[in-house]
Amino acid sequence: MLGSGKGSNFMAIADAVAAGRLAAEIAVVVSDVPTAGILDHARARGLRAVHLPPGRFRSKLDEESEPRLIQLLTEARIDWVVLAGFMRILKGEFLRHFEQRVVNIHPSLLPSFPGLEAWKQALAYGVKQTGCTVHLVDQGIDTGPIVAQEAVPVLGDDTPESLHARIQVAEQRVYPAALHQLLSGRVRIEGRRTFPV
């Protein structure tokens, strides 16, 4: 699992693993931020937690960090890469190495409002509902095949904070469930589309 923040989605997934609702093992938790809460949560659960310095770029891993991450995950013998609030764009060699094995959750009903702070985009646009999307990561920004979505209503008195908080609750429900479908082979991927098996 890769994350940059406090680790709320990590906690939901780790709880699902511990409760037996998700047949998986979290091999390693990696963050580009040395003080990220996700690392503290991982250590508290006895999981391997690694800080990977991202290099000189703000939005992606540099040409030294990306191969280090690939090596770290390969040595950990991972099957899937699960993004939980990882704020670096993954492209190129990383996605070729783990093709169709990188999963992300985005706080909107994609393809609407890709990119940063999607809940603010939704609120500014005036939509009546938004939500979250579990998707496979491809070379674009939030453009990979959609695995699962959950809608969240936008209320008349919503602030960016209140809307984001409700989307996060939905994320913590849908992400472990979608991972269960993927990891148990109940999702078939054909090009840009996914189908239940």
Average of pLDDT values for 48-64? 94
- Looking at the chain, the whole-number percentage of residues with pLDDT higher than 90 is 94
DSSP notation for the chain: -B-SSS-HHHHHHHHHHHTTSS------EEESSTT-HHHHHHHHTT--EEE----S-SSB--TTHHHHHHHHHHHTT-S-EEBSS--SB--HHHHHHTTT-EEEEESSSTTSS-SS-HHHHHHHHT-SEEEEEEEE--SSSS-SPEEEEEEEEPPTT--HHHHHHHHHHHHHHHHHHHHHHHHTT-EEEETTEEEE-
Nearest to 6 by CA among 40, 45, 51, 52: 40
Question: pLDDT (tens digit, 9 = 90+) per residue, 74-121?
Answer: 999 999 999 999 999 998 899 999 999 999 999 999 999 999 999 999
Average of pLDDT values for 134-143? 94
Q: What pLDDT score does 152 carry?
A: 98
Which positions are catalytic?
A: 106
Name the domain boundary from 43, 68, 99.
Answer: 99
Q: What pLDDT score does 192 carry?
A: 84
Contacts of 94 (CB under 8 A, 6+ apart): 61, 66, 69, 70, 102
The band of 191, judged by pLDDT with boundaries at 50, 70 and 90, is confident
Name the residue range of residue 34's domain: 1-99
Residues 89 and 63 in one domain: yes
Residues 88 and 120 in one domain: no
Question: pLDDT (tens digit, 9 = 90+) per residue, 158-178?
Answer: 999 999 999 999 999 999 999
What domain count does the chain have?
2
Residues 154 and 90 in one domain: no
Residues 71 and 135 in one domain: no
Report pTM.
0.95
Name the domain boundary from 65, 99, 133.
Answer: 99
